[in-house]
Amino acid sequence: MDNNSAAYWKATLGLLTKILVVWFLVSFGAGILFAPMLNSISLGGYPLGFWFAQQGSIYVFIALIFFYAKKMGEIDRQFDVHEE
């Protein structure tokens, strides 16, 4: 594997690692682990921990999909492996 390929995969895996950490923190962290602390805050009449477990995590996941697509496009262009 040449240096360019190694750098491309390092950038790709770095992006995936960041996205998976956010995914874990939002789904498991905000929805389960930190829910008792977040429940002291209300959003739309519902405790924030409950809101994250039911709706908030879905919004974050959708945002992560768009973020991933944008950043992967930038990485592909940076390493000249993009599609025309």
* Residues 36-73: tens digit of each pLDDT: 898 999 988 889 888 888 888 899 999 999 999 999 99
Residue 44 sits in which domain range?
3-78
Q: Tell me which DSSP letter residue 81 carries.
A: -
- Reported as half-sphere exposure (CB side, CA atoms, 13 A), residue 60 has a value of 20
Q: Would residue 69 count as lying in a domain? A: yes
Amino acid identity for residue 47 in this structure: P
Q: What token pair was written down for 44?
A: 């739309």
* Residues 3-48: tens digit of each pLDDT: 889 999 999 999 999 999 999 998 888 888 888 898 999 988 889 8
Q: Would residue 83 count as lying in a domain? A: no
Tally of domains within the chain: 1
Q: Would residue 84 count as lying in a domain? A: no
Give the dihedral of Cα atoms 65, 66, 68, 70; nearest 10 deg. 160
